[in-house]
Chains A and B, each alone.
Chain A
Amino acid sequence: MTDAAISLQSDADQRAIAALRRKNAVWRRILKDPAAAIAAFFLLLLVASAILAPWIAPFDPYASNMRYRLCGIGSARCAQFLLGADQTGRDMVSRLLFGLRSTLTIGVIAVLIGGGIGTVIGLTAAYYRRLDAPLMRLVDVLLSFPPILFGLAIAAVVGAGLPGLILALCVTSIPTIARISRGAAASVMQQEYMEAGRAVGLGDGALIWRYLAINCWPTILIYITLQLGQAILLGAALSFLGLGAQPPVAELGSMAADGRKFLTIAPHVSTLPCAVIFLVVLAFNVLGDALRDALDPKLRQ
């Protein structure tokens, strides 16, 4: 049926529509902002280096050598280490790469699971009107808790460590994504094709999956990505408190906490991981701001 509708348009029309679509694509509008373009490029670079860490890291991040203990940046004692060494003589560059890798992995896993659950809640609330109020009240309850309290409570119940950390980050991202996806789905529910789908006799499952979810996922995915910045910041804070990743695991937050004891003699051991966290979260936030501007037609004018 849709094929017939499309074939009515001439080739030129189709090309014009495609060109217009490309021109107005959200990502194109975002990249017009130089700060956002830099942030996006920087994030791509960071993600690539995190993925490739085992291959591009110059040394083993867990190989200690007390001879290079707390060796400063550019010191002749450890000229082979670009950014010096930490308290057990491990190469900082390699540790930072692997730290970034685990920090990002923890965030991605947590936000994807939490975002998935949030999406299911949001779509269900938008589709089944009867469930809307109770589900959204539940989301309000979750949203009214400060994220750090989830972190503390979960760490207290399951114990300090990675499973608890991921669970906490996951729970904190559920309500935000649930709200966003409900909003996105509610506007899709108004579309005529939803009604058409129902008239054709599609079941609830098919309607939700093939019509509703497929039309909302770009928005939801974008917000899930942006949630990552917040998740990384919270995860780093919990690890810094000793409630997340445990040493010797290379994770940026716990690396910063570890290096704290040597702040006066070797500040780079804790400052470098902090700086990396800051840059990652900053890039996510700059991108997020640009996106909000691009998606909000009120501000575009």
Chain B
Amino acid sequence: MERVTAWIQDKNPGLEGPVDAHEDLIEARLIDSMDFLEFIDLLEDISGTSIDLQEVTIDDFRTLARVQERFLAPTA
């Protein structure tokens, strides 16, 4: 998750303080639409698995909590 938060901080240099785990990253445009595929690449790189955009919804990317749960949680 550190790489994800570092990426968001890097993309949003004006951010003051950490991003709340439940903040809406999409609506606040902390993930800009032009950077969305780069964000997908980052998640794929961290998790080591590919993300099929046909099998996800926007809510899977909406908060850090959901990103952690959906893509970065260790699989059982």
- A and B associate in one complex: no
B interface residues, Cβ below 8 angstroms from A: none
A interface residues, Cβ below 8 angstroms from B: none
